[in-house]
Amino acid sequence: MKEITDKPKPKHALSSMQCPAHLSDVDLFGTGACEHWYEAYDILHREAPVHKIPGEGFAPGTDAFILTKHEDIAAVVRDQERFPLPGSLMVQQLCAAEADPFETPNVNIMMAAMTTLRPNPQMWRSHRQELTDPWVGPGAGRNEAMVNRVAQELIDRWIERGTVEFVSEFAQPLPQMVMANVLGWPMEDLKLLKYYGDGTVKPFVYGSGHRNILPQEEIDSQFEVLAEFKAYTQELITRKRARPAEDMISFLTQVEYSPLARRLADDEINGVVYAMVIGGLETTQYALAEQVQLLIEHPDVWRQLKAERGLVRAFTEEAMRLRAPTQGLSTRITSQDEVFQGVRVPKGSFLHLRWAAANIDPQEWDEPQTLRLDRKAGTRHLTFSQGARVCPGASLSRLEQVVAWNRLLDAVEEFEYTDDNNFLHQPGIMLATDHLNLAVRRAGAPSTGNT
């Protein structure tokens, strides 16, 4: 199989940043950086696997460090005591304060709900097992028929046309419609789900620097969107409490949460919904959009999947390894002095965990940049993180990806790029193709030679 690095890189020509050649050129967060991330990871692995960002630590006077080694990141995410999340520290502060977290200004409803539903690791586990696992975790299989129906409905909208804008006509609406069905969100308000989803996700992915800091006016307007989102969800909760249906919000109005020995309050449910909407939409969209590009660039793999559907899961895992949607997050702090790869990292430093770089760490993977369907333990990539804080929606996302490719493999003989792609990724920390025009040959349709 061919190396990804052998492929032409149309994105490079469009990037406003030069491709880095030396460590001094590496900047993962500047404008246009996303078009060169994988070349930057090669340089970091060779020369600076623990890369300092001076003055950007958590505690005053400390620094941030970009971790790129699989072994380092896997160790960090497995130890919550030594490497707490900044969010957990905030939850501890809110718990210690006298004020009601649900009434505290600038505290979003998800964070407020954490103070009552999951203030410590034991309750974090219960929250998963009792509230989210049955719908988006190990219990996500209950959604299989619905995901198949949604994928087929989307394909039917464009399969006869011979072209598709793959992002807006498949990769984006699929997780939106799936999440709406899971939650019990009215389908006629799908646009609102996207609008609120953009509002919740913005501070996590679009801002500048490793912490995604947004300008103040954007923070203010984001709080207005979040207030609308909260009011809308509250109405939904009220309706579902009165007339429960077979969906996650109805379930949350009824379930008895064992650590508190009571049902959830409306604001607590609102906080859980917020978390589902942050995590459940864009991430899977970006995974699907990268996967179609990998398959166009590897026609041999496309043919293999057509012939042997049992390989689809290996493909989606390998694609998530090679093109992680969430490339990195500044999501842990050092609670004591540490040493990674011989580099001293003092207490109070910010750790930027670069999942995508760990996924191509040559110490962890043979032929790290090659798409291979025969990897042993291919799920050990860090795209969903690992340990107690591993992404709670990983099972749902995996289901969506596998179903999507099975339905696409049934319906499509071949995808090809058309000439009018801009191929740019959106700025931020996601590997996010913003639009992708493709020619499509329907399965069973005669070949014209040029799709």
Report yes or no: 401 and 325 within 8 Å, Cβ to Cβ: no
User: In angstroms, what is the minimal distance from the CB of 172 to ligand HEM?
Assistant: 13
Q: Which of 62, 270, 397, 433 binds ligand HEM (CB under 6 A)?
A: 397
> Three-state DSSP class for 428?
coil
Q: What are phi and psi of 94, to 5 degrees?
A: -65, -40
Q: What DSSP state is assigned to residue 213? A: B
User: In angstroms, what is the minimal distance from the CB of 385 to ligand HEM?
Assistant: 3
- Spatial neighbors of 203 by CB under 8 A, at least 6 apart, are 212, 214, 219, 222
Q: Which of 88, 250, 283, 327 binds ligand HEM (CB under 6 A)?
A: 283
Told to check if 57 binds ligand HEM by CB under 6 A, we report: no
Span near ligand HEM by CB under 6 A; candidates 207-215, 223-231, 297-305, 379-387 = 379-387
Q: Which of 316, 392, 425, 432 binds ligand HEM (CB under 6 A)?
A: 392
d(CA 315, CA 302): 10
User: In angstroms, what is the minimal distance from the CB of 335 to ligand HEM?
Assistant: 16
Compare residues 199 and 325 and give the one whose CB is closer to ligand HEM: 325
User: In angstroms, what is the minimal distance from the CB of 18 to ligand HEM?
Assistant: 28
Q: What is the DSSP track for 296-346? A: HH-HHHHHHHHH-GGGHHHHHHHHHHHT-SB--EEEEE-SS-EEETTEEE-
Told to check if 433 binds ligand HEM by CB under 6 A, we report: no
Bridge partners (DSSP) of residue 339 are: 344
In Å, what is the CA distance from 43 to each residue of 28, 38, 60, 356? 12, 9, 29, 14
| Binding residue count for ligand HEM, defined by CB under 6 A | 22
Residues within window 339-358 making contact with ligand HEM, judged by CB under 6 A: 355
Q: Which of 207, 368, 393, 428 binds ligand HEM (CB under 6 A)?
A: 393
Residues within window 66-85 making contact with ligand HEM, judged by CB under 6 A: 77
Compare residues 145 and 388 and give the one whose CB is closer to ligand HEM: 388
d(CA 305, CA 291): 13
d(CA 127, CA 376): 32
> Three-state DSSP class for 442?
strand
Q: Which of 291, 316, 383, 433 binds ligand HEM (CB under 6 A)?
A: 383
Q: What DSSP state is assigned to residue 364? A: T
Tokens of 188: 């006629």
Span near ligand HEM by CB under 6 A; candidates 66-74, 145-153, 243-251, 272-280 = 272-280
> Three-state DSSP class for 182?
helix
Q: Which of 325, 368, 378, 428 binds ligand HEM (CB under 6 A)?
A: 325
What x-and-dash track marks residues 126-165 binding ligand HEM by CB under 6 A?
----------x-----------------------------
Q: Which residues bind ligand HEM (CB under 6 A)?
A: 77, 136, 275-276, 279-280, 283-284, 287, 325-326, 331, 355, 383-385, 389, 391-393, 396-397
